[in-house]
Chain A
Amino acid sequence: MTQQHARPLGLLVATAFATALSATAALADSAGATFSTGDKFSEKTGQELYANVCQACHMDKGQGAVGAGKYPALAKNTNLETGGYPVFVILHGLKGMPPVGQMMSDDQVAAVVNYVRTNFGNDYKDPVTAEDVAGAR
């Protein structure tokens, strides 16, 4: 659930907050990007999680990026062949990459791993499960 949906809109009744209301409505219209509630990611599907978390570094098409160092491309990445590898990296981090899986449930980690392993030119058909993730924490 996104924050704008979770917020009790009915409470924003003071006239001074009329503009706040319209801003909230505008937020609900903004496609794609979401904000979580609290200190865990709220996105559910692999696609949503990718677009709001992983994309921050690995970019919108999994192409990665290069500067003084690089973010590896996830597109056509043979390291994804074994599902346990991305599960481990998301849960525990790797070098500079933070352990973002600590802010996700087992289901969420499985969802985003399965999404990445079947998109961006990857076609690994053996899905990981929430149980696999729980075992790797």
Chain B
Amino acid sequence: MVTAVVALTIIGLVLGYLLGLAARRFHVEEDPLIDEIAGMLPGTQCGQCGFPGCGQAAAALASGQASVTCCPPGGRALAEALARRLGVPIDLPAGEEDGPRLALVDESLCIGCVKCYKACPTDAIVGAPKQIHVVMQRACTGCGACIDVCPTECLTLVGTTATLGTWRWPKPLPEAA
């Protein structure tokens, strides 16, 4: 009895010590870059990048498996910021971007089922049961999460039209330079 207790205690202590050593010896440092990149991403977990969420996308970006242009809601600004942070070249042809695409509710088709506003990661859709819903453009990232859940296909992503406040000069033509 005493022998068994002593033997088991010694085995336990030795194994515990070995485990403790191994934990220090083989410690895997969590890349701080991943946290930093996750902070730059929109955090809406929309999945348009092909990863389950922004955390996984950040890990893929940090390890170079994803392109810096993989996040549509982040747009050009995010792509440029990521390229700067990761030190990778980026080829964004100026002026060729069709601008952001935002969700729009077709009011003739909306039945007020409230499915879309539950799916919206940024609470950009407002509405109530059996009331027509509307998308607040200021809060919409164009992630498309609402499109798939709509039973009447009344939601579409549409490009925004230029106004005096958003119109900008185009880049001069290359042959003129």
Q: Do A and B bind each other?
A: no
Which residues on B are within 8 Å of A, measured CB to CB?
none
The chain A residues found within 8 Å of chain B, CB to CB, are none
